[in-house]
Amino acid sequence: MLVLGIECTCDDAGCAIVRDGCEILSNVVSSQVDLHKMYGGVIPELACRRHVDTLLLVIEEALRIAEVSFSDIDLIAVAQGPGLIGALFIGLAVAKALSVAYQIPFIGVNHIEAHFYAAYMSSKTTSFPALGVVLSGGHTSLFLIKELGFYEKIGETVDDAIGEAFDKVAKMLNLPYPGGPEIEKLALLGNKKRFSFKGGRIKNKNFDFSFSGLKTAVLYQIAREKQMAEDHILSLETKRDIAASFQESALTYTVNKVIQAAHTYQVTTILLGGGVTHNRRLRELFTLTDATLDYRWPGEGLSLDNGAMIAGLAYHKYQFQKKGDSLNLEPSLHASL
Ligand code: KG4
Ligand code: ZN
Protein backbone atom coordinates (compact mmCIF):
# COMPACT_ATOMS: atom_id res chain seq x y z
CA MET A 1 0.00 0.00 0.00
CA LEU A 2 1.44 3.37 -1.06
CA VAL A 3 0.73 6.28 1.28
CA LEU A 4 1.43 9.95 0.58
CA GLY A 5 2.03 11.71 3.91
CA ILE A 6 1.83 15.47 4.46
CA GLU A 7 3.39 17.20 7.48
CA CYS A 8 2.47 20.85 7.85
CA THR A 9 2.15 21.54 11.57
CA CYS A 10 4.63 24.35 12.17
CA ASP A 11 7.42 25.88 10.09
CA ASP A 12 8.39 22.91 7.89
CA ALA A 13 6.43 21.58 4.93
CA GLY A 14 7.03 17.88 4.39
CA CYS A 15 5.74 15.22 2.05
CA ALA A 16 6.78 11.57 1.75
CA ILE A 17 5.76 8.47 -0.15
CA VAL A 18 5.94 5.35 2.03
CA ARG A 19 5.12 1.74 1.16
CA ASP A 20 3.44 -0.50 3.77
CA GLY A 21 4.25 1.71 6.75
CA CYS A 22 8.03 1.56 6.60
CA GLU A 23 9.64 1.59 3.13
CA ILE A 24 10.42 5.23 2.38
CA LEU A 25 10.44 5.99 -1.36
CA SER A 26 10.86 9.72 -0.86
CA ASN A 27 10.87 12.15 2.06
CA VAL A 28 11.02 15.83 1.11
CA VAL A 29 11.11 18.63 3.68
CA SER A 30 11.14 22.33 2.88
CA SER A 31 12.57 24.14 5.88
CA GLN A 32 11.64 27.74 6.68
CA VAL A 33 14.62 28.43 8.95
CA ASP A 34 15.84 31.19 6.60
CA LEU A 35 12.50 32.97 6.95
CA HIS A 36 12.21 32.89 10.75
CA LYS A 37 15.88 33.18 11.69
CA MET A 38 15.92 36.97 11.84
CA TYR A 39 13.00 36.98 14.32
CA GLY A 40 14.58 34.37 16.60
CA GLY A 41 11.49 32.13 16.41
CA VAL A 42 8.59 31.04 14.23
CA ILE A 43 6.19 33.79 13.09
CA PRO A 44 2.92 31.92 12.45
CA GLU A 45 1.55 34.28 9.79
CA LEU A 46 4.77 34.11 7.76
CA ALA A 47 4.94 30.32 8.18
CA CYS A 48 1.41 29.96 6.75
CA ARG A 49 2.06 32.23 3.78
CA ARG A 50 5.17 30.24 2.91
CA HIS A 51 3.23 26.96 3.23
CA VAL A 52 0.69 28.22 0.70
CA ASP A 53 3.55 28.87 -1.72
CA THR A 54 5.53 25.68 -1.15
CA LEU A 55 3.37 22.77 -0.02
CA LEU A 56 2.18 21.74 -3.49
CA LEU A 57 5.74 21.97 -4.83
CA VAL A 58 6.96 19.74 -2.00
CA ILE A 59 4.25 17.18 -2.81
CA GLU A 60 5.17 17.21 -6.52
CA GLU A 61 8.82 16.74 -5.60
CA ALA A 62 8.03 13.77 -3.32
CA LEU A 63 6.06 12.08 -6.15
CA ARG A 64 8.85 12.80 -8.62
CA ILE A 65 11.60 11.34 -6.42
CA ALA A 66 9.50 8.24 -5.65
CA GLU A 67 8.80 7.91 -9.39
CA VAL A 68 5.06 7.53 -8.82
CA SER A 69 1.97 9.54 -9.69
CA PHE A 70 -1.36 10.08 -7.94
CA SER A 71 -2.81 7.06 -9.75
CA ASP A 72 -0.36 4.86 -7.75
CA ILE A 73 -1.28 6.34 -4.35
CA ASP A 74 -3.70 4.35 -2.15
CA LEU A 75 -4.05 6.76 0.77
CA ILE A 76 -3.40 10.43 1.49
CA ALA A 77 -2.37 11.13 5.08
CA VAL A 78 -1.94 14.40 6.93
CA ALA A 79 -0.87 15.49 10.41
CA GLN A 80 -4.12 16.60 12.01
CA GLY A 81 -2.37 18.23 14.99
CA PRO A 82 -1.25 19.38 17.43
CA GLY A 83 0.56 22.31 15.82
CA LEU A 84 0.05 25.89 14.64
CA ILE A 85 -3.61 26.24 13.77
CA GLY A 86 -3.03 28.06 10.46
CA ALA A 87 -0.47 25.52 9.28
CA LEU A 88 -2.76 22.62 10.23
CA PHE A 89 -5.62 24.14 8.25
CA ILE A 90 -3.42 24.40 5.17
CA GLY A 91 -2.19 20.80 5.46
CA LEU A 92 -5.71 19.47 5.94
CA ALA A 93 -7.18 21.58 3.13
CA VAL A 94 -4.54 20.35 0.70
CA ALA A 95 -4.94 16.70 1.76
CA LYS A 96 -8.73 16.87 1.45
CA ALA A 97 -8.58 18.63 -1.92
CA LEU A 98 -6.21 15.99 -3.31
CA SER A 99 -8.41 13.24 -1.88
CA VAL A 100 -11.48 14.62 -3.66
CA ALA A 101 -9.69 15.44 -6.91
CA TYR A 102 -8.02 12.03 -7.24
CA GLN A 103 -10.66 9.94 -5.43
CA ILE A 104 -8.17 8.60 -2.90
CA PRO A 105 -9.16 8.01 0.76
CA PHE A 106 -7.70 10.46 3.24
CA ILE A 107 -6.78 10.08 6.90
CA GLY A 108 -5.56 12.38 9.68
CA VAL A 109 -2.94 11.25 12.20
CA ASN A 110 -1.60 12.66 15.43
CA HIS A 111 1.68 14.58 15.13
CA ILE A 112 2.99 13.41 18.54
CA GLU A 113 2.19 9.76 17.89
CA ALA A 114 3.95 10.10 14.53
CA HIS A 115 7.13 11.33 16.26
CA PHE A 116 7.59 8.13 18.22
CA TYR A 117 6.33 6.05 15.29
CA ALA A 118 9.41 7.46 13.47
CA ALA A 119 11.62 5.39 15.80
CA TYR A 120 9.37 2.34 15.31
CA MET A 121 9.55 2.55 11.52
CA SER A 122 13.32 2.87 11.72
CA SER A 123 13.82 -0.29 13.77
CA LYS A 124 10.98 -2.60 12.61
CA THR A 125 11.48 -5.28 15.29
CA THR A 126 9.93 -3.44 18.23
CA SER A 127 8.15 -5.36 20.94
CA PHE A 128 5.37 -3.89 23.07
CA PRO A 129 4.70 -2.61 25.67
CA ALA A 130 7.23 0.17 25.15
CA LEU A 131 7.71 3.73 26.29
CA GLY A 132 7.09 6.51 23.72
CA VAL A 133 9.07 9.69 24.36
CA VAL A 134 8.64 12.88 22.34
CA LEU A 135 11.24 15.60 22.85
CA SER A 136 10.55 18.39 20.39
CA GLY A 137 10.15 22.14 20.05
CA GLY A 138 6.46 21.95 20.87
CA HIS A 139 6.15 18.89 23.12
CA THR A 140 7.74 16.88 25.87
CA SER A 141 5.56 13.84 26.41
CA LEU A 142 5.81 10.33 27.77
CA PHE A 143 3.44 7.58 26.72
CA LEU A 144 3.11 3.96 27.66
CA ILE A 145 2.60 2.21 24.31
CA LYS A 146 0.56 -0.93 24.95
CA GLU A 147 0.61 -1.60 21.23
CA LEU A 148 0.42 0.66 18.18
CA GLY A 149 -2.74 2.74 18.52
CA PHE A 150 -3.19 2.06 22.27
CA TYR A 151 -1.53 4.54 24.58
CA GLU A 152 -1.59 5.86 28.10
CA LYS A 153 -0.14 9.30 28.66
CA ILE A 154 2.09 9.17 31.74
CA GLY A 155 3.76 12.57 31.64
CA GLU A 156 4.15 15.85 29.81
CA THR A 157 5.63 19.28 30.34
CA VAL A 158 3.63 21.64 32.49
CA ASP A 159 5.25 24.70 30.86
CA ASP A 160 7.94 24.88 28.14
CA ALA A 161 8.82 21.98 25.88
CA ILE A 162 12.45 20.87 26.09
CA GLY A 163 13.28 22.11 22.56
CA GLU A 164 11.61 25.42 23.37
CA ALA A 165 13.87 25.75 26.44
CA PHE A 166 16.92 25.14 24.21
CA ASP A 167 15.63 27.76 21.75
CA LYS A 168 14.98 30.33 24.50
CA VAL A 169 18.35 29.85 26.18
CA ALA A 170 20.00 30.13 22.76
CA LYS A 171 18.21 33.44 22.24
CA MET A 172 19.50 34.69 25.62
CA LEU A 173 23.01 33.86 24.37
CA ASN A 174 22.35 35.65 21.06
CA LEU A 175 22.57 32.43 19.08
CA PRO A 176 20.56 31.96 15.88
CA TYR A 177 17.27 30.05 15.62
CA PRO A 178 16.75 27.11 15.96
CA GLY A 179 18.79 27.15 19.14
CA GLY A 180 19.07 23.43 19.97
CA PRO A 181 21.88 22.60 17.53
CA GLU A 182 23.65 25.90 18.36
CA ILE A 183 23.63 25.15 22.10
CA GLU A 184 24.93 21.65 21.43
CA LYS A 185 27.78 23.03 19.30
CA LEU A 186 28.73 25.68 21.86
CA ALA A 187 28.50 23.17 24.74
CA LEU A 188 31.12 20.92 23.15
CA LEU A 189 33.88 23.28 24.29
CA GLY A 190 32.25 24.36 27.55
CA ASN A 191 32.59 23.31 31.19
CA LYS A 192 29.30 21.63 32.12
CA LYS A 193 30.15 21.73 35.83
CA ARG A 194 30.72 25.48 36.10
CA PHE A 195 27.07 26.36 36.80
CA SER A 196 24.57 24.25 38.63
CA PHE A 197 21.12 24.71 37.07
CA LYS A 198 18.32 22.52 38.35
CA GLY A 199 15.37 21.01 36.45
CA GLY A 200 11.94 21.78 37.94
CA ARG A 201 10.29 19.57 40.52
CA ILE A 202 6.65 18.64 40.03
CA LYS A 203 4.76 17.83 43.19
CA ASN A 204 2.99 14.44 43.14
CA LYS A 205 3.36 14.05 39.40
CA ASN A 206 6.49 12.01 38.93
CA PHE A 207 6.63 11.94 35.18
CA ASP A 208 5.60 15.47 34.29
CA PHE A 209 8.34 17.89 33.26
CA SER A 210 9.03 21.55 33.93
CA PHE A 211 11.68 23.58 32.16
CA SER A 212 10.69 27.16 32.97
CA GLY A 213 12.58 27.29 36.32
CA LEU A 214 15.73 26.06 34.63
CA LYS A 215 15.34 28.64 31.88
CA THR A 216 14.86 31.44 34.44
CA ALA A 217 17.92 30.27 36.40
CA VAL A 218 19.95 30.62 33.20
CA LEU A 219 18.49 34.09 32.60
CA TYR A 220 19.54 35.28 36.09
CA GLN A 221 22.99 33.73 35.74
CA ILE A 222 23.52 35.53 32.42
CA ALA A 223 22.51 38.84 34.06
CA ARG A 224 24.95 38.21 36.94
CA GLU A 225 27.78 37.28 34.60
CA LYS A 226 27.19 40.40 32.49
CA GLN A 227 27.21 42.56 35.59
CA MET A 228 30.51 41.09 36.69
CA ALA A 229 32.16 41.44 33.28
CA GLU A 230 34.14 44.65 32.80
CA ASP A 231 32.48 45.49 29.49
CA HIS A 232 29.15 43.91 30.52
CA ILE A 233 29.47 41.45 27.66
CA LEU A 234 29.64 37.68 28.10
CA SER A 235 32.99 36.18 27.18
CA LEU A 236 33.00 33.27 24.74
CA GLU A 237 34.21 31.03 27.57
CA THR A 238 31.27 31.98 29.80
CA LYS A 239 28.83 31.48 26.91
CA ARG A 240 30.24 28.02 26.32
CA ASP A 241 30.05 27.14 30.02
CA ILE A 242 26.45 28.36 30.27
CA ALA A 243 25.47 26.35 27.18
CA ALA A 244 27.22 23.23 28.51
CA SER A 245 25.81 23.56 32.04
CA PHE A 246 22.28 24.23 30.79
CA GLN A 247 22.39 21.38 28.30
CA GLU A 248 23.71 18.96 30.91
CA SER A 249 20.99 19.79 33.44
CA ALA A 250 18.13 19.80 30.91
CA LEU A 251 19.23 16.47 29.47
CA THR A 252 20.12 14.76 32.76
CA TYR A 253 16.75 15.77 34.20
CA THR A 254 14.95 14.37 31.13
CA VAL A 255 16.98 11.17 30.90
CA ASN A 256 16.46 10.39 34.60
CA LYS A 257 12.69 10.86 34.33
CA VAL A 258 12.41 8.67 31.26
CA ILE A 259 14.51 5.89 32.78
CA GLN A 260 12.57 6.09 36.04
CA ALA A 261 9.32 5.77 34.04
CA ALA A 262 10.69 2.75 32.17
CA HIS A 263 11.48 1.04 35.47
CA THR A 264 8.15 1.95 37.07
CA TYR A 265 6.17 0.64 34.11
CA GLN A 266 8.57 -2.30 33.64
CA VAL A 267 9.30 -1.69 29.99
CA THR A 268 12.68 -2.17 28.40
CA THR A 269 12.06 -0.71 24.94
CA ILE A 270 12.01 3.07 24.53
CA LEU A 271 10.96 4.77 21.28
CA LEU A 272 12.24 8.34 21.10
CA GLY A 273 11.25 11.05 18.65
CA GLY A 274 11.31 14.81 17.98
CA GLY A 275 14.03 17.29 17.06
CA VAL A 276 15.89 17.13 20.38
CA THR A 277 16.74 13.44 19.73
CA HIS A 278 19.35 14.84 17.31
CA ASN A 279 21.41 15.79 20.34
CA ARG A 280 24.40 13.50 20.72
CA ARG A 281 24.87 14.18 24.43
CA LEU A 282 21.26 13.08 25.00
CA ARG A 283 21.90 9.74 23.35
CA GLU A 284 25.16 9.32 25.26
CA LEU A 285 23.53 10.15 28.60
CA PHE A 286 20.81 7.54 28.10
CA THR A 287 23.35 4.81 27.55
CA LEU A 288 25.62 6.01 30.34
CA THR A 289 22.71 6.12 32.79
CA ASP A 290 21.18 2.75 31.93
CA ALA A 291 22.80 0.61 29.28
CA THR A 292 20.37 -2.27 29.86
CA LEU A 293 17.43 -0.47 28.21
CA ASP A 294 16.78 -0.75 24.48
CA TYR A 295 16.70 2.77 22.99
CA ARG A 296 15.20 3.15 19.53
CA TRP A 297 16.06 6.38 17.71
CA PRO A 298 14.51 7.87 14.57
CA GLY A 299 16.51 7.10 11.43
CA GLU A 300 18.09 9.66 9.11
CA GLY A 301 15.64 12.46 8.25
CA LEU A 302 13.00 11.23 10.72
CA SER A 303 13.76 13.25 13.90
CA LEU A 304 12.50 16.64 12.85
CA ASP A 305 9.03 17.14 11.37
CA ASN A 306 8.69 15.01 8.22
CA GLY A 307 6.02 13.42 6.03
CA ALA A 308 7.43 9.88 6.27
CA MET A 309 6.38 9.38 9.89
CA ILE A 310 2.88 10.63 8.97
CA ALA A 311 2.56 8.28 5.98
CA GLY A 312 3.99 5.35 7.97
CA LEU A 313 1.64 5.76 10.90
CA ALA A 314 -1.37 6.36 8.63
CA TYR A 315 -0.81 2.95 7.03
CA HIS A 316 -1.46 1.27 10.42
CA LYS A 317 -4.37 3.54 11.29
CA TYR A 318 -6.00 2.70 7.96
CA GLN A 319 -5.50 -1.05 8.52
CA PHE A 320 -7.15 -0.65 11.90
CA GLN A 321 -10.17 1.49 10.92
CA LYS A 322 -10.46 -0.11 7.48
CA LYS A 323 -11.60 3.20 6.01
CA GLY A 324 -10.47 6.78 5.59
CA ASP A 325 -11.61 9.75 7.66
CA SER A 326 -14.52 12.03 6.83
CA LEU A 327 -13.82 15.21 4.88
CA ASN A 328 -15.28 17.04 7.89
CA LEU A 329 -12.15 16.23 9.92
CA GLU A 330 -10.94 19.39 11.68
CA PRO A 331 -7.43 20.29 12.90
CA SER A 332 -6.81 19.17 16.47
CA LEU A 333 -4.77 21.30 18.86
CA HIS A 334 -4.64 18.66 21.60
CA ALA A 335 -1.85 16.21 22.14
CA SER A 336 -4.15 13.52 23.54
CA LEU A 337 -3.98 10.17 21.80
O1 KG4 B 1 10.40 17.93 16.23
P2 KG4 B 1 10.69 19.32 15.80
O3 KG4 B 1 11.10 19.53 14.37
O4 KG4 B 1 9.51 20.29 16.00
C5 KG4 B 1 8.36 20.17 16.71
O6 KG4 B 1 7.51 19.33 16.37
O7 KG4 B 1 8.27 20.95 17.67
O8 KG4 B 1 11.82 19.85 16.80
C9 KG4 B 1 12.41 21.12 16.71
C10 KG4 B 1 13.13 21.38 18.02
C11 KG4 B 1 13.67 22.79 18.14
O12 KG4 B 1 13.29 23.30 19.40
C13 KG4 B 1 15.19 22.61 18.06
O14 KG4 B 1 15.92 23.58 18.76
C15 KG4 B 1 15.36 21.23 18.68
O16 KG4 B 1 14.27 20.49 18.16
N17 KG4 B 1 16.63 20.62 18.29
C18 KG4 B 1 17.62 20.33 19.18
C19 KG4 B 1 18.69 19.80 18.41
N20 KG4 B 1 18.30 19.79 17.09
C21 KG4 B 1 17.04 20.29 17.05
N22 KG4 B 1 17.69 20.47 20.51
C23 KG4 B 1 18.83 20.08 21.12
N24 KG4 B 1 19.91 19.59 20.46
C25 KG4 B 1 19.89 19.43 19.11
N26 KG4 B 1 20.95 18.97 18.47
ZN1 ZN C 1 7.07 17.79 15.45
CB 252 within 8 A of CB 282: no
Give the model's confidence band at 333: pLDDT under 50 very low, under 70 low, under 90 confident, else very high.
Answer: confident
Ligand 1 mean position to 276 CA, how many Å? 4
Spell out a b/e string for 280-317, using b for 16 or more CB atoms within 10 Å of the CB, else e. Answer: ebbbebbeeebeebebbbbeebbbbbbbbbbbbbbbbb
Using alpha carbons, select from 174, 138, 81, 99 the residue that is nearest to residue 273. 138
203 pLDDT exceeds 70? no
State mean pLDDT over 73-91. Answer: 96
pLDDT, the chain, mean: 94
247 pLDDT exceeds 70? yes
Ion ligand 2, residue ranges at CB < 5 A: 136, 305
CB 17 within 8 A of CB 68: yes
Q: What is the pLDDT of residue 204?
A: 59
CB 44 within 8 A of CB 116: no
User: Of the given ranges (174-188, 197-211, 259-273), which has the lowest mean pLDDT?
Assistant: 197-211
State mean pLDDT over 100-108. Answer: 98
Atom of ligand 1 nearest to the CA of 164: 12
pTM of the prediction?
A: 0.92
Residue-wise pLDDT for 272-294, tens only, equals 999 999 999 999 999 999 999 99
Q: d(Cα 133, Cα 174) in Å, to the nearest integer?
A: 29
Q: What is the pLDDT of residue 125?
A: 76
For residue 81 and ligand 1, the question of a CB distance below 6 A is answered with no
Q: What is the pLDDT of residue 336?
A: 67
Q: Residue 16: count other Cβ atoms within 10 Å of its Cβ.
A: 30
Q: d(Cα 139, Cα 127) in Å, to the nearest integer?
A: 24
Report which protein residue has its CA nearest ligand 1's atom 23.
180
Q: d(Cα 136, Cα 141) in Å, to the nearest integer?
A: 9
Q: d(Cα 209, Cα 230) in Å, to the nearest integer?
A: 37
For residue 211 and ligand 1, the question of a CB distance below 6 A is answered with no
Give the model's confidence band at 205: pLDDT under 50 very low, under 70 low, under 90 confident, else very high.
Answer: low
Ligand 1 mean position to 292 CA, how many Å? 26
Using alpha carbons, select from 301, 320, 175, 305 the residue that is nearest to residue 242. 175
Residue-wise pLDDT for 304-320, tens only, equals 999 999 999 999 999 99
